[in-house]
């Protein structure tokens, strides 16, 4: 994320925390990923920042009501809001994003405001980020070729498979092989 975008995000959220919610709720989910805020209607404070697709932002209250608790601080806050007969408001901060950009924005916002929100993690990993971590772990566990071939005599087919696996892992790690 470039510095200009970071500055824009920080300014918008700083104004929100200092001046409060401006009254416009944007629930335009769109068909792609989005970054959203959960807001306490009593004091207009943002208490959670997330990324989602479809109606993910709306699921937090229904999960609370069903007893599905993945983040105790967030669900305690939702419980307090609802028990005081207030509402959990949703504001779509930015929409029409691909997963990678949504994760990047979400992580940056959470990082900047982690002391003021109930998020327990600094954003989730995309499929690609998780795959890169997995590929690095597998590659690290691989026996180096010069040792591997000495353990027992290898056929040309086995050697070819070894190199194909190594090439695939390297392409995943270097992001030559990508997906959304």
pLDDT digits 0-9 by tens, 120-163: 776 655 566 667 767 877 888 888 888 887 888 888 898 888 88
Q: Residue 35 pairs with which residues in a beta bridge?
A: 51, 94
| pTM of this prediction exceeds 0.85 | no
- Range name among 27-31, 63-67, 114-118 with the lowest pLDDT average: 27-31
- Residues 55, 42: Cα–Cα separation, whole Å: 23
What pLDDT was estimated at residue 107? 87
Higher pLDDT, 44 or 70: 44
- Residues 60, 65: Cα–Cα separation, whole Å: 9
- Asked if 61 and 88 count as a contact pair (C-beta separation under 8 A), the reply is yes
Percent of the chain with pLDDT over 70: 76
Q: Mean pLDDT throughout 101-123?
A: 83
Is residue 61 very low, low, confident or very high in pLDDT (cuts 50, 70, 90)?
very high
pLDDT at 23 over 60: no
What pLDDT was estimated at residue 38? 93
Q: How many other C-beta atoms can be found within 10 angstroms of the C-beta atom of residue 6?
A: 15
Task: Please state the length of the chain.
Answer: 180
Is residue 99 very low, low, confident or very high in pLDDT (cuts 50, 70, 90)?
confident
pLDDT at 85 over 90: yes
């Amino acid at each position: 994320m470039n510095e200009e975008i970071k500055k824009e995000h920080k300014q918008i959220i700083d104004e929100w925390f200092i001046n409060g919610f401006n009254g416009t709720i944007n629930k335009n989910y769109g068909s792609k990923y989005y970054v959203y805020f959960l807001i306490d209607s009593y004091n207009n404070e943002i208490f959670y920042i997330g990324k989602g697709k479809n109606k993910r932002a709306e699921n937090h209250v229904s999960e609370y009501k069903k007893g599905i608790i993945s983040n105790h601080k967030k669900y305690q806050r939702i419980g307090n809001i609802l028990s005081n007969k207030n509402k959990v408001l949703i504001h779509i901060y930015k929409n029409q994003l691909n997963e990678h950009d949504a994760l990047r924005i979400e992580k940056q916002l959470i990082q900047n405001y982690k002391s003021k929100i109930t998020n327990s993690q600094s954003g989730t990993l995309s499929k690609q980020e998780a795959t890169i971590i997995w590929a690095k772990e597998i590659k690290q566990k691989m026996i180096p070729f010069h040792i591997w071939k000495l353990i027992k005599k290898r056929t040309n087919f086995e050697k070819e498979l070894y190199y194909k696996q190594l090439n695939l892992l390297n392409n995943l790690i270097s992001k030559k092989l990508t997906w959304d």
